[in-house]
Amino acid sequence: MWKTYLCLLLIFGLYDTFAKKIVKPTIVSSKSKKSSTSPKPSPSNCRCVAIESCPPDMKLDPRIVNQGTESPCLTGEIWCCQDIPPLPPCGTKRIKDAPAQPPGTAKYGDYPWQAAIISTNNTYLGSGVLIDTNHVLTVAHKVEPYLKSKFKIRLGDWDIRATDEQFPHQDYQSTKVFVHPDYNSKNYINDIAIVRLNASVPLTTSLNINTACLPTKPPVAGSRCYVAGWGANAFGPSGMYQRILRDVDVPIINQTTCEARLRATRLGTHFVLDENSFMCAGGELGKDSCEGDGGAPLMCLDEKGGPWYAVGLVAWGIGCADESVPGVYINIHNYLPWIKKTLIAT
């Protein structure tokens, strides 16, 4: 009797020890609120998730156990850890060996930050630029009409009709749109918006998707930058939206020159270009963004050969690709305080 009892104790004791080593605890504190005295595990790659949401290849932190101690997670959640590779640097292209394309057509993977804005019935609306794993920057006039009817953000696309690209595109739902509070739909002053995605973009495993860098200073007049999009190849009825992403290089035009050139158009001699909202680029025959490209980023390569910066967003223009008529872009640098404030608030 005693021998049997002792044997059972040893078996249960060994099983308990074995279980503690192999099966990580999945039960957390019953507290419903996070506590300021919660333990702060050292791994920075851990997060609170539902018990069933921690994949098999991830680890549960054994320090978070249900022994009356406080937990950083809510009821029904566990502290799930994974060795996550660092995010790729912004403004970098990770597909290097894509086949060359005819002039005016972007190579696959050349603009991994390019976002396509698509309606719920799969109509192409415009473009934007991915600025972090959860947000896309675009112009307000492309998304403001759809605030009550959700739209999709497509990332990593190149040929909008192809289904066999090297890496598949990824679709996300818009969960919140932050339109600049002083946006004026009549003259496009402060025509800028931020779209929050319904999930984080897995940049580490998506070589065809990356973020663009936000500018640290205004672009230099005379420097050549690039704009890409699926918009029309000509202004007016003859223009057709493009199947494959196209790009073009355009020069940055200073404000004084731009305003003078725009006054020579139907805008008239009294036109004043709002220098806080807008910047200009282009004015060369056959080189311009056009209808349907609204929200597409104007990208400039760092002068030292570093990353690519999104300095502008396609806003409006007079015709497309006419000599001495530059295109008008939202000046992203002037909106950095609003962008950063909005991102923090989300």
The model's pLDDT over 174-192, given as tens digits with 9 standing for 90+, comes to: 999 999 999 999 999 999 9
Q: Which of 40-49, 131-140, 263-272, 279-288 has the lowest mean pLDDT?
A: 40-49
pLDDT in tens, 109-134: 999 999 999 998 888 999 999 999 99
pLDDT band for position 148 (cuts 50, 70, 90)? confident
pLDDT in tens, 10-20: 343 433 433 33
Asked if the structure places residue 124 within a domain, the reply is yes
Asked if the structure places residue 324 within a domain, the reply is yes
**Once rounded to an integer, what is the mean pLDDT over residues 275-285?**
96
Of 87, 89, 108, the residue nearest 97 (C-alpha): 108
The residue among 58 and 307 whose pLDDT is bigger is 307
Domain that holds residue 59: 25-34+41-83
Tell me which DSSP letter residue 284 carries: B
Asked if the structure places residue 100 within a domain, the reply is no
**Would you say residue 51 has pLDDT above 60?**
yes
CATH assignment of the domain containing 320: 2.40.10.10
pLDDT band for position 39 (cuts 50, 70, 90)? very low
Q: Phi then psi for 205, rounded to 5 degrees?
A: -110, 5
Residue-level pLDDT at 13: 43
**Would you say residue 321 has pLDDT above 80?**
yes
Same-domain pairing of 172 and 235: no
Same-domain pairing of 172 and 233: no
Same-domain pairing of 329 and 228: yes
Give Cα separations from 16 to 4, 9, 51, 66, 78 (angstroms): 18, 10, 21, 16, 21
Residue-level pLDDT at 223: 96
* Helical (H) or strand (E) element with 263: helix 255-263
List the helix and strand counts (H, then E) for the chain: 4, 15
Q: Phi then psi for 303, rounded to 5 degrees?
A: -60, -20
Give Cα separations from 39 to 31, 33, 63, 326 (angstroms): 14, 14, 9, 57
| Whole-number Å distance between alpha carbons of 92 and 87 | 11
Instruction: Kindly state the percentage of the chain with pLDDT values over 70.
Output: 76
Give Cα separations from 118 to 140, 153, 157, 310 (angstroms): 15, 6, 12, 21
| Whole-number Å distance between alpha carbons of 120 and 334 | 32
**Residue 178, helix vs strand vs coil:** strand
Instruction: Kindly state the percentage of the chain with pLDDT values over 90.
Output: 61
Tallying the residues shown for the chain, one arrives at 346
Q: Which of 4-8, 131-135, 306-310, 329-333 has the lowest mean pLDDT?
A: 4-8
Tell me which DSSP letter residue 214 carries: P
Residue-level pLDDT at 68: 41
Asked if the structure places residue 126 within a domain, the reply is yes
Of 303, 291, 132, the residue nearest 203 (C-alpha): 132
Q: Which two tokens stand for residue 128?
A: 């934007």
At CA 269, angle to CA 279 and CA 313, rounded to 5? 15
Place of tokens 């290089």: 249
Q: Which two tokens stand for residue 27?
A: 């039960």
| Whole-number Å distance between alpha carbons of 259 and 5 | 94
Same-domain pairing of 294 and 254: yes
Residue-level pLDDT at 76: 66
Residue 315 CB coordination number (10 Å): 27
Q: Which two tokens stand for residue 258?
A: 């731009």
Q: Which ranges constitute the DSSP H helices of 104-243?
A: 140-143
For the chain, the domain total comes to 3
Same-domain pairing of 191 and 230: no
| Whole-number Å distance between alpha carbons of 117 and 155 | 9
Q: Which two tokens stand for residue 191?
A: 């025509």
Q: Phi then psi for 79, rounded to 5 degrees?
A: -90, 105
Residue-level pLDDT at 242: 82
Instruction: Give pTM, 2 decimals.
Output: 0.76
Same-domain pairing of 299 and 154: no
Give Cα separations from 282 to 202, 210, 217 (angstroms): 34, 26, 20
Same-domain pairing of 341 and 202: yes
Asked if the structure places residue 271 within a domain, the reply is yes
Same-domain pairing of 133 and 171: yes
**Residue 132, helix vs strand vs coil:** strand
Asked if the structure places residue 89 within a domain, the reply is no
Asked if the structure places residue 311 within a domain, the reply is yes
Same-domain pairing of 341 and 323: no
Burial 225-242, CB ≥16 within 10 A → b, else e: bbbbbbbbbebeeeeeeb
The residue among 7 and 201 whose pLDDT is bigger is 201
Same-domain pairing of 324 and 249: yes
Same-domain pairing of 279 and 191: no
**Would you say residue 50 has pLDDT above 70?**
no
| Whole-number Å distance between alpha carbons of 300 and 307 | 9
Per the prediction, the chain carries an average pLDDT of 82
**Would you say residue 63 has pLDDT above 60?**
no
Asked if the structure places residue 2 within a domain, the reply is no
pLDDT in tens, 213-267: 999 999 999 999 999 999 877 676 767 788 899 999 999 999 999 999 999 999 9
Same-domain pairing of 273 and 328: yes
